[in-house]
Amino acid sequence: MKNTLIKYILCGVMWLAIGQAQAQNNPYVDDKLLHFGFFVGVDLLSYHIEENDQATQMLLGSNKVCYPRVSAIGPGMQVGFISDLRLHQYVNLRFTPALHFGERTINYDTGDKASILTIPISIPLYLKWSAPRIKNYRPYVLVGGGVELECFRDKEKAVVLHEMFDAFVSAGFGCNFYFRWFKLCPEIKYQIGFLDAHVPISEAQDNGWGIGADEYFYSNSIKRMTHQRLSIVFNIE
């Protein structure tokens, strides 16, 4: 397994070296005022959680205190499209809406877990700063933010409910690889929400949702939670 991984890494290095020695592909692609593309990616999902220190939960008729200890990293994926507006030789404005699929898990000190399925649409806007192009490579960084709209919420099965609307800030880096007919742009982005994503028990009750012992027990132990997402994305432009 280790030898196979080393072989793949060496092949990748050789492929990049060959690309460096070649003439520039698509030399005028970055001069376009507006261009489009699409992307796919994988996500690593979690929550930053603040405990409700004053909460005492009732479970099965007995007083029992339960606190969330760890938000486990969960897998996810995303697909979306790109609209890129050239503002300057080195600066672009990017609109990259995406549909995400994923599941987050909250671990409790009792040994129990609460899983939260999320299918949000993210609507971000980024500023992208690119370095000068070197042969067929061009690294860049980007910063931005946006909003998320949750498309799905399982009110029947979830013991912790996620808000339908959130806002976030995001930053990342990547590199353009220029081919004859397109650019391949792998990038890594980190995103963190700044609104409370937790639906309080009082709000759920006001909306007429069925709140059982488990829901009260697990949800009431959380004071505040914000979402976090680390993404590895492959753009085709």
Q: What is the pLDDT of residue 84?
A: 95
Q: Residue 132, class by beta-carbon neighbours within 10 Å (0-12 exposed, 13-18 middle, 19+ buried)?
A: exposed
Residue range 201-212, pLDDT digits in tens: 655 444 444 445
Kindly report the backbone phi and psi dihedral angles of residue 8, in degrees, each rounded to the nearest multiple of 5, phi listed first: -65, -40
* Domain 2-236 CATH assignment equals 2.40.160.20: yes
**pLDDT (average), residues 142-162:** 74
pLDDT tens digits, residue range 28-83? 888 899 999 999 999 999 888 877 766 544 444 445 566 676 667 888 999 999 99
pTM: 0.76
The whole-number pLDDT of residue 197 equals 78
For the chain, give every domain's residue range: 2-236
Q: How do residues 87-118 score in pLDDT, each as one tens digit?
A: 999 999 999 999 999 888 887 777 777 777 88
